[in-house]
Amino acid sequence: MKRRKFITATGAVVAGSLFTHPASGMFLKSNNIKKKRLALVGTGIRGISFWGRRVLQEYGDIVEFVGLCDINPGRLEFGKEYIGAACPTFTNFEKMMKETKPEVVIVTTVDATHHEFIIKGLEMGADVITEKPMTTDEIKCNNILEAEKRTGHKVIVGFNYRYGPHPTKIKELLTNNRVGKITSVDFHWYLNVFHGASYFRRWHGIRDKSGTLLVHKSTHHFDLLNWWIDSDPVEVFAYGELEHYGKNNSFRSVKCRQCPFKEKCKFFWDITTNDVYMKLYVANEKHDGYIRDACLWRNEIDIYDKMAVQIRYANNVQVSYSLTTYSPYEGWRIAFNGFNGRLDSWQDIPWQKGVPGDIDQSDLHRKEMSQEEEQKATDYEVIMVMDNFGKYEAVKVPKVGGGHGGGDRRLQDQILRDPDMADPFKHAAGSRDGAMSILVGIAARKSIETGKPVKIEDLTGLIPQAKRIT
């Protein structure tokens, strides 16, 4: 029987054993079949779609929203309608916590504010699920770790990338020691001119809000590295520059709507074609001035748009990582060098897919994020394994489209539906994993600023271990 069908058939029994997170022991077992009480703060697109509407649609038999919160009252009201929740809304988080007493708080606000709601949520008696990145600097990170210890409540970080079939197969091959002891890794991530540009259109382009893409975006990649290598990062050295977006263009405006350069700007983006974005963002600009289609040539942009990072791990693995934000195509490449061979893989590199240009770059990211469009596997990813003095073997992994390769669904299933599910590759991530991934980005940022290597142990109370603590 398929797991989803099994769950529906045994809903009450499953609900009775809800909420024990394998890694963190986040939720205590309960024989109470009452619905779990969730509150959500941050009714932007991620909050209302993945952690809102999808949660109610898929897990509405075992969870309920008791409160929604956002500083923007218009976005809050549209968000409630979009989610389909029947609960009160609040523009004040503490008031929501006091009046609704949720058991779990979901944090989907702007990155630099996550810590406020994680810490307050823990202190006011809830467990917390937070979107990545857990937070944006080492002081907030330490405060979160300290609050978790002090309150006895738990933090889960939503690392959906881990759960995809492709990253999971790489983890399985490495766990099985397929190419022997790993000594070094090359990891290069290419954001295309559509997806990469999107980060420069809004708050992500401001360092104080996103912590730069080394934290906001690379937290996914550093988490994958930490998980695959199964060790903690020790030292980081990095370079980074802003030389394409922001002040680097010869013309600029305020936003794409009403832009006098629409015709000549290759990055022009027409938000008016997206009905949900118009209702969620444009209709509510009047409340807080949040412009969703802001000009990506704004002078205020102060993050890097190309980044190169070297990382040394406690088990002596060395990593070369880079992030590009204006690539013609979206994709990534990785290679693990081991004593017995080498494991290579890649995703979405056009000519490695066959016909050059056969991927619609403008729609690739929307499809990846889409919760409605998780498609059946009709294609596959390849992991190439070659033995020293030997032959190569192509390991094929069925490719699922939408919902981050099916990773989004598996992440929520494990957290919300089936917390006791077998977890042989330790997909579940708590605050230590959340911390270790952002600390690489924070260290990289510091290294770029100082021109010096930065030690992870100098940032928080966490001591890097040769074998990750799970």
Ligand X SMILES: NC(=O)c1ccc[n+]([C@@H]2O[C@H](COP(=O)([O-])OP(=O)(O)OC[C@H]3O[C@@H](n4cnc5c(N)ncnc54)[C@H](O)[C@@H]3O)[C@@H](O)[C@H]2O)c1
| Chain residues in the site for ligand X (CB under 6 A) | 41-47, 69-72, 75, 108-111, 113, 131-132, 158, 160, 216
Q: What is the 3-state secondary structure (H, E, C) of 356-383?
A: CCCCCHHHHHHHHHCCCCCCCCCEEEEE
Query: Considering beta carbons, is residue 110 or 214 the nearer one to ligand X?
Result: 110
Taking a C-beta distance cutoff of 8 angstroms, is the pair 148, 122 a contact?
yes
Nearest distance, CB of residue 425 and ligand X, angstroms: 19
Nearest distance, CB of residue 309 and ligand X, angstroms: 19
Query: Considering beta carbons, is residue 196 or 464 the nearer one to ligand X?
Result: 196
Query: Considering beta carbons, is residue 121 or 341 the nearer one to ligand X?
Result: 121
Query: Considering beta carbons, is residue 113 or 168 the nearer one to ligand X?
Result: 113
Nearest distance, CB of residue 53 and ligand X, angstroms: 13
Nearest distance, CB of residue 389 and ligand X, angstroms: 41
CA pair distance 170, 137, nearest whole angstrom: 30
Query: Considering beta carbons, is residue 52 or 341 the nearer one to ligand X?
Result: 52
Query: Considering beta carbons, is residue 95 or 467 the nearer one to ligand X?
Result: 95
Query: Considering beta carbons, is residue 47 or 240 the nearer one to ligand X?
Result: 47
Taking a C-beta distance cutoff of 8 angstroms, is the pair 431, 437 a contact?
no
Nearest distance, CB of residue 381 and ligand X, angstroms: 18
Query: Considering beta carbons, is residue 228 or 281 the nearer one to ligand X?
Result: 281
Any idea which residue has 């980081």 for tokens?
236
Any idea which residue has 């520059």 for tokens?
241
Nearest distance, CB of residue 93 and ligand X, angstroms: 6
Name the residue number minimizing CB distance to ligand X.
44
- Ramachandran angles phi, psi of 173, nearest 5°: -65, -40
Taking a C-beta distance cutoff of 8 angstroms, is the pair 231, 440 a contact?
no
Nearest distance, CB of residue 376 and ligand X, angstroms: 21
Nearest distance, CB of residue 446 and ligand X, angstroms: 21
Which CA distances in Å does 22 have to 19, 271, 422, 428? 9, 41, 9, 7
